[in-house]
Amino acid sequence: MRRRAKRAGDNADVNMTPMLDIVFILLIFFIVTAVFLQERGIDMRPPPPSENPTENSDPAILVQITPESRVFVNQETTSILRVLAAVSRIRAEQPQSAVVLEVFDKADHGDVVFLWDEMKANGIPVSITRDKDSEN
């Protein structure tokens, strides 16, 4: 009997070119159709100086935020959750007064935004300034 000689195994190659073409087409499709969002932030620029300062306006309410997350309203320590109540009590006596947030550079940004939003939501005019001692 005659035996057949076994063939050396055929190498089955997979052609990767069509798969790469599909991957590049999908990549281009997703890049073109992606939605690019522009996130809005808080405008931190100070307002322009007033041209006509009013003589009879009430003094500003000073709210200070320290790096240790301590909050002061007109030099009196208070909780961040009680700032609106303290400001409202002062504004009951002086309805034209605005709030000035004096913030240290290392103060918690979340606290600043929380107080800013709280004042704006209640119609209280507010501005932000840096603490003079935090420049160093």
Q: What's the mean pLDDT when you consider all of the chain?
A: 82
**Domain span including residue 66:** 61-135
C-beta separation of 115 from 79 below 8 A: no
In a domain, 43, yes or no: no
Task: Say whether pTM exceeds 0.75.
Answer: no
Residue 10 confidence (pLDDT): 66
In a domain, 10, yes or no: no
In a domain, 85, yes or no: yes
- Structural domain total, the chain: 1
Instruction: Tell me the pLDDT tens digit for each residue of 105-134.
Output: 888 888 889 999 998 998 888 888 887 665
H helical segments located in 34-123: 83-93, 109-121
Which one has a higher pLDDT value, 28 or 48? 28
In a domain, 73, yes or no: yes
In a domain, 110, yes or no: yes
In a domain, 9, yes or no: no
Concatenated DSSP letters of 5-45: PPPPPPP-----HHHHHHHHHHHHHHHHH-----------S
The residue among 113, 62, 109 whose CA lies nearest residue 87 is: 62
List Cα–Cα distances, 24 to 13, 35, 64, in angstroms. Answer: 21, 19, 55
pLDDT band at 21 (very low <50, low <70, confident <90, very high): very high
Encoded amino acid at 18, one letter = P
